[in-house]
Amino acid sequence: MDPVRLLCDISELNWIFSGSDTIDAFLGRVVHMVANHMEAQVCSIYMHDDASGDLVLRATFGLSADAVGKVRLARGEGLTGLSVEEGRPVNEPHASRHPSYRFFDGTDEEKYDAFLAVPISRGIYRIGALTIQRSASQPFRDQDRAVMQAISSQLANIIENARLLQLKGAAGSPGGPSTPEPARAVAREGSDLVAPIIKGRGVSGGTAHGKVLILDKARLFERYGPNRQYPPFAPKDLTLAVGATEAQLRTLQHRVERKLSDAASLIFSAHLLMLKDSNFTGRMLDLVAGGVNPPEAVMTVGREYAGFFTEQGNPYLREKADDVRDLVIRIMANLLPEVASHEYRGRVAVAADLYPSDILMLSAEEVAGIILIAGGAASHMSILARSLKIPLIIADVPALLQIEDGTVALLDADHGTIFVNPSQATIEQFEKAARDRETVAGHSAPMTPRTSTADGVRVALYSNINLLSDTVTLKSLVYDGIGLYRTEFPFLVRSTFPTEEEQYAIYVKLIDNVSPGTDITFRSLDIGGDKVLPYYGDLHEKNPFLGIRSIRFSLQNRDLFKEQIRAILRAGSGSKISILFPMISSKEELTASRLVVAECIDELSVKRIPHNDEPRIGVMIEIPSVLEIMDDLMDFADFFSIGSNDFIQYMLAVDRTNERVAAMYCAHHPAVLRGIRRIVAAASAAGREVSVCGEMAHAPRYLPFLIGVGIRALSVDPQFLPLIQAAIATIDSRQAGELAGRMLEASTQDEVEWLMDGV
């Protein structure tokens, strides 16, 4: 078995799609590939049938082909059913001796007694199972189980989409034209709805100039209404349009993988599978063969599918309607050359809200910039956009969603300004400014090997890592280590939880991508609040910022927590690593988290798996309760990191993603500044390093205060490293100390601002 090669193949499933004409052909190639790599005589995929509740054999390599579609297992029946029912792998060296064993005559499986099944699930939803079998003389090992879990995780989204298409196929479709889904009222007003100049907040810098594209799939879909007239097309035109759409989607997926630089799930898998579904594109071709004009055939089937998913009670199924609309619009764009409404490249995308996976898609589509109507300046969306180098402005102007596609917009994300239908003079001015910035950047002084103040005080300057692609930027920069690797992004951009093996592969890549001997701090999973996992329904809370966030989620999901910690420890074997726990609010949470690390070290030691058995343990300070127990934490933490974004939010009870209270979110509030001083004083007295990360760390105006109160370590995103090093070099630490003292004595924000501005 070659597990490394197998994981690479599974994460690059485009080649399987390109060679598969149907879903069944795709599943057939998957079981063949898995059997080959796992050195198994049998590999099978079972899928859940919503109508009967049974598990149905959908593809197999090694068993009789006649068994496909016929072998069915009731809920919990057999070892495969047991694996799905209990949500765990089942590994039996002698399957026939297990009380749950179920034999099916005619499958020829009696020769293969070594059996391993892993459930295929999407978050909390059971989808099916992946099984492998071989002779009893070759039982499966723990390593086989781990690799199979990684495979099932990668396949989960694809197979779930295949299952949903099967569900729609079973529902059938009318023989004649479909009843269109209820039309939504769409405003058609022009750009006169908004002012020519709009002030927002630039959260990912840069400028963009292009035509607006409103990201509302229902609105785009409705442009091809049932009453629209199309010129006649030949049947081959539809075949060519479908083929072109598939090629475009595979290209986009490759771009996403390159940008993310890890084993991401196939973001475009739902679209690719629909293109191979006989009930989707196959029905379009049947309609065309019956004399229906290709554009009308595409829209007829598209309306059937979108309407079907829209009517479902499950919110996740309703979301599939957008996948249908998106794919239909892509096909129509390839069928009708004059249609450019779905062209993203060079456009300014406007959206009410986005998921992290949407940002990745837009990056792959090469959008020029993004205007987001909702969200906070310090949210994960802005962090991701900065890593992908997409200018992003957040503007609380809902009317922007109603302007016509094609309206010209110019974004100055450095200053948070949006120009709607800008004059030619304005465009030329910004083009010149962009050229000037490039010239200045090309002649800027390189970073020095050591970061220090004007009077020689050493300041450690660490880099944050959001995506592994950030390490490419680091190669030309100077930094003292990785102060914060945000492990949540591999969770946020997937459609289900990454397995231990997937996380291990990502963490190994991170360590390999930086210089040998680099200190790397892994922050454990930080989700909840504005960082919602779409596939985990339990995180949808009424007050998410005060709910199951960060370490609370990890401690309540210990199996997931331990998978992550084991992956970090394994990847860190022979390297200098630290583990940072977010949102710690009590000594109990810290000791419980440390216990998980100790348990993982013991488990890896017993199994003789190479790992790091002495990671430094850190606490991220974000919750005010920690201020009163700092001394109690000193014996249990090796270092501290002030997460300024959440620290400010919780100190001031201000939701940083709520536009209505955004003005109250203030980093220089006296309570925030005094809280930071108390943290630094307690950590310094105990000889513990304390750093600052978040927006405050890369804002030059706050550096004199931070250095003045004793902060000697900062962690910022790579693009801010040169700026912050240069700013630190201008600061005299003694003068900064005096300024910080005066700021701490101030009782109002206005007084503090007056002091910072040197008025």
Contact 428, 414 (CB under 8 A): no
Cα torsion angle, 325, 328, 333, 338, sign: negative
Q: Is 600 a catalytic residue?
A: no
User: Exposed, middle or buried: residue 291 (CB in 10 Å: 0-12, 13-18, 19+)?
Assistant: exposed
User: Distance between CA atoms of 66 and 552, rounded to whole angstroms?
Assistant: 49
User: Distance between CA atoms of 749 and 655, rounded to whole angstroms?
Assistant: 18
SS3 call for 276: coil
List Cβ neighbours of 378 (8 Å cut-off, separation of 6 or more).
Answer: 203, 645, 656, 694, 695
Tokens of 604: 């890896």
Question: Rounded to the nearest 5°, which phi and psi values hold at 288?
Answer: -65, -40
SS3 call for 690: strand
User: Distance between CA atoms of 373 and 249, rounded to whole angstroms?
Assistant: 27
DSSP string, 308-319: HHHT-SSHHHHH
Q: Looking at the chain, how many residues does it have?
A: 759
User: b/e per residue, 588-626, with b = 16+ CB within 10 A?
Assistant: ebbebbeebbeebbeebeeeeeebbeebbbbbbbbbeeb
Write the secondary structure of 414-460 as one string of H (helix), E (strand) and C (coil).
CCCEEEECCCHHHHHHHHHHHHHHHHHHHCCCCCCCCCECCCCCECE
Contact 626, 584 (CB under 8 A): yes
**Which entry of 342, 380, 611, 698 is annotated as an active-site residue?**
380
**Which entry of 271, 600, 693, 698 is annotated as an active-site residue?**
693
For strand 392-394 and strand 616-621, is the pairing parallel, antiparallel, or unpaired? unpaired
Write the secondary structure of 184-248 as one string of H (helix), E (strand) and C (coil).
CCCCCCCHHHCCCEEECEEEECCEEEEEEEECCHHHHHHCCCCCCCCCCCCHHHHHHHHHHHHHH
H runs (alpha helix) in 443-513: 470-474, 489-492, 500-513
Radius of gyration of the chain (CA): 28
Q: Is 48 a catalytic residue?
A: no
SS3 call for 25: helix
**Terminal-residue alpha carbon distance, the chain:** 70
For strand 207-214 and strand 348-351, is the pairing parallel, antiparallel, or unpaired? parallel
CA dihedral 74, 79, 83, 84 (to 10 degrees): -20
In the numeric block, the tokens 């004595």 are attached to: 745
The catalytic residue positions are 380, 693
